[in-house]
Amino acid sequence: MDLSLNGRRALVCGASKGIGKAIAIELASLGAQVTVLARSAETLTSVCEGLPRPSEQRHTSIVADVEVPDELIHSVEDHVNSYGAFHICVNNTGGPAGGLLVESSVESIVQAFENHVVMAHRLMQVLVPGMKVENWGRFINIISTSVKQPLEGLGVSNTVRGAMASWAKTLATEVAPWGITVNNVLPGATETERLAGIIDRTVERTGRTDAEVRTRMVGEIPVGRFGRPEEIAAAAAFLATPAAAYITGTSILVDGGRTRTLS
C-alpha cells in the first residue's frame, strides 16, 4: 500500500490545535511538506517546529484569520507564488456556536456560511490550477456527523455542514479528470476545546451537571468513549495518500459507531 507523501505539499487550516494539529503531524510523518494555517503566530511557530521531518522536509506557516477572508486568500496566494503549488488542502474551520436554529440570527448563519463554504470555495479557486498542472490533488474537508444525522443544539452548524458536504460532492465530480479527489471526514464527539464548549453550553441550557452531560454523550457511542484527535487525523491522512486515489465524493464517519444511518 502506497502511503508515501514524499514530495507533496499540504495546506492544513486550523492547525494550531486539536484535530487540525493532529492532521498536520500525521501528514508530515508520511513525508509531506506541511504548511500550517491559523490565527495565532506564537502557537503556529511551536506547531511548525514540532512537526516530524522523516524526509528532512521544510515546514512553513501562514498566520491568517478565516474571518478576514481577503487577507487569508492573499496570504495563501503569496505562499503558492513563493513555494509552489499545494497538492493537498485540508479545510478545517472551527464550528459555529451551539444553540437552537429557531433562536439563531440570520447574521450568524451568513457568517458561518462565509467561514466554511465560501472560504473553502475561495481556497479551491486558488489551489485547483496548480493541482491540474500536477494532475494530482486532494481536498479533505473536516466537517461533522451532522451531515448524516443532525445534532441537537447545533442548529447553525447542522445547516452549514450539510451545505459543505453538497459543495464537496459537486466539486468531486468536476475535478476528478485531473486526478483530484474531494472527500469529507465526519468526526464524532472528539476530545477537543470544541467538545468542551459544547458540553458547557449543554450544562447551561439543560441544568445538568458536566458529568451527567458527558455520561449521556458517551452512552450514545457504541465504543464507549470520546474520540481522540489522532484518530480523526488517521482517516484524513489516508485520504491524502496515493492509496486513496479511487476514493472521491464520499463522507467517512469517524465517530465510534454513534451515527445510526447506513450511508
Same domain for 21 and 145, yes or no, is yes
The answer as to whether 147 is a domain residue is: yes
The grid cell for 14 is 486550523
Compute CA 82 distance to the chain's CA centroid, rounded to the nearest angstrom: 25
Per-residue confidence in pLDDT tens, the chain, 263 aa: 999 999 999 999 999 999 999 999 999 999 999 999 999 888 999 999 999 999 999 999 999 999 999 999 999 999 999 999 999 999 999 878 888 899 989 999 999 999 999 999 999 999 999 999 999 999 999 999 999 988 888 889 989 999 999 999 999 999 999 999 999 999 999 999 888 888 888 898 889 999 999 999 999 999 999 999 999 999 999 999 999 999 999 999 999 999 988 76
141-150: pLDDT as tens digits: 999 999 998 8
Residue 104 sits in a domain of what CATH number? 3.40.50.720
Contact 71, 64 (CB under 8 A): yes
Task: Give the domain range for residue 210.
Answer: 191-226
User: Do 48 and 67 sit in the same domain of this protein?
Assistant: yes
16 Cα distance to chain centroid = 12
- 168 in the same domain as 44: yes
Query: How far is Cα 86 from Cα 124, in angstroms, rounded to an integer?
Result: 11
Q: β-pairing, 9-13 with 33-38?
A: parallel
pLDDT reported for residue 179: 99
**Model confidence, pTM:** 0.93
51 plus 80 within the same structural domain: yes
Which run of H or E residues covers position 60?
strand 60-63
Q: Does some domain include residue 105?
A: yes
Residue 262: inside a domain, yes or no? no
Q: Is residue 123 part of a domain?
A: yes
Strands of 251-254's sheet in order across: 60-63, 33-38, 9-13, 88-91, 137-142, 180-187, 251-254
For residue 256, being part of any structural domain is answered with: no
In a domain, 171, yes or no: yes
The predicted pLDDT at position 40 comes to 87
- Residue 238 has what pLDDT? 99
In the chain the first and final C-alpha atoms are separated, in Å, by 26
| Cβ atoms of residues 97 and 108 within 8 Å | yes
User: 69 and 15, same structural domain?
Assistant: yes
Q: Do 120 and 170 belong together in one domain?
A: yes
Are 64 and 75 in contact by the 8 Å Cβ rule? The answer is: yes
Q: Are residues 212 and 114 in the same domain?
A: no
Same domain (yes/no): 85, 137: yes
Based on the domain organization, do 79 and 204 belong to the same domain? Answer: no
Q: What is the pLDDT of residue 263?
A: 66
Q: Based on the domain organization, do 183 and 208 belong to the same domain?
A: no
Query: Are the CB atoms for 14 and 22 separated by under 8 Å?
Result: no
